[in-house]
Amino acid sequence: MSDPVEEVTRAQLRHGLRIATLLVAMAIVLGVGLPNLLRYMDTYPSPLTQLTAFAALGAVLAGEATLLVRGRSWSRLRGPAIAIVLCASALSYVTLPEGRTSTGVDWIFGAANWVGIVVLLDRPLRTSASFLLAHELTALLHLLLLDDPSRADMARFATGSVTVFGFPLCLAVVATVLRGLSAAAADSRREIEQVRVAETVAAESHGRRQQRLAELSATTIPLLEGLADGSLRPEDPMVQRRCAIEAARMRRLFAEADTVANPLLHELRHCIDVADRKGVVVELDARGQWPTPPVAVRRDLTEAVLIVLATAASRARVTVMGSADLVSVSVVADCGEMNMPSPATPGVRVEALNNDHTVWVEARWQRTS
């Protein structure tokens, strides 16, 4: 997501460039084109046609001024506006006296180009270049088809084209460069933000893992120390059960760092894998769809399951059921009566039933809005 301040700055730059271009176009059309039109009015075969062409250009400039005031762009009106500019140019050349192309009488030669650039300023450079080329070809066709150009006429046309084509094109290039720099700056800003977010997430994940490792060390280290100094015997069933529980907790801790679609099922499968390795046949059944519980909630939901699986003698069945706001994890296994730890997370409830050598345990989490 881009910075709102950056968006405002870019919008202000675009708005300022549009205003500057409009002022340049108005200065050329009203300060140069209109005086030439009025000065040579008597030389035109149809003065009304020339005035109509001038009015068309003025209407386009007025439209740009209106859009600027309203903070809008040409959008769908851009095509009709360019068509009006080109038609005005062609209309002016139809009634232009012979031999006057690219002279003072040809007022539209240096005016229509700027009006078109006003409309196309926020478009790709090739669009502006195509318009300027079309404007140049209109004047050139008039010179070649309706006049009998001399070498001096062609030289005058070529010299005039340097400013008529070149200056507006330079402005279009500047606008394109500014858009490119703005887009590149925005992309760089987004990449920097993504890196910062990733670093923050990684630091938080690392901190959580360190905290969990510290919590596990309270039960794992005494177990390892007892095995190392001989106070605990590996063949003792209780010691084996404690080892299986700690191993499942370790596997669950490692699974929490994985990016998967369903973290709860992913972590349960890692807990089940420890039971599989000791020969317990475990069935896993998942029904429904549920929201992803927070990490602390998932630990409470899986804690009772992994304890039962670590104690199961030969078989167990794990069932996960969920809805939009409820997740239930239950396990049935052939093991004796045991005490379940109290959940550390509010909202998680654990229930247990014992029947001879079969135990049923359910951990349930109700999401609160």
User: Are the C-beta atoms of 136 and 164 separated by less than 8 Å?
Assistant: yes
- Coil, strand or helix at 174: helix
Average pLDDT over residues 167-194: 79
State the CB neighbour count (10 A cutoff) for residue 174.
Answer: 13
Residue 214 has pLDDT above 80, yes or no: no
Average pLDDT over residues 314-324: 91
Question: Alpha-carbon distance 243 to 250, whole Å?
Answer: 10
When the pLDDT of each residue in the chain is averaged and rounded to a whole number, the result is: 85
pLDDT at 88: 94
pLDDT at 30: 92
Residue 335 has pLDDT above 50, yes or no: yes
Residue 3 has pLDDT above 60, yes or no: no
Domains assigned to the chain: 4-191 (no CATH), 255-366 (3.30.565.10)
Q: Tokens 């205003």 identify what position?
A: 19
**H helix and E strand count, the chain:** 10, 5
Give the tens place of pLDDT for each residue, 100-133. Answer: 787 888 899 989 999 999 999 888 889 999 999 9
Residue 218 has pLDDT above 80, yes or no: no
CA angle 110, 171, 9 (to 5 degrees): 140
Average pLDDT over residues 188-210: 79
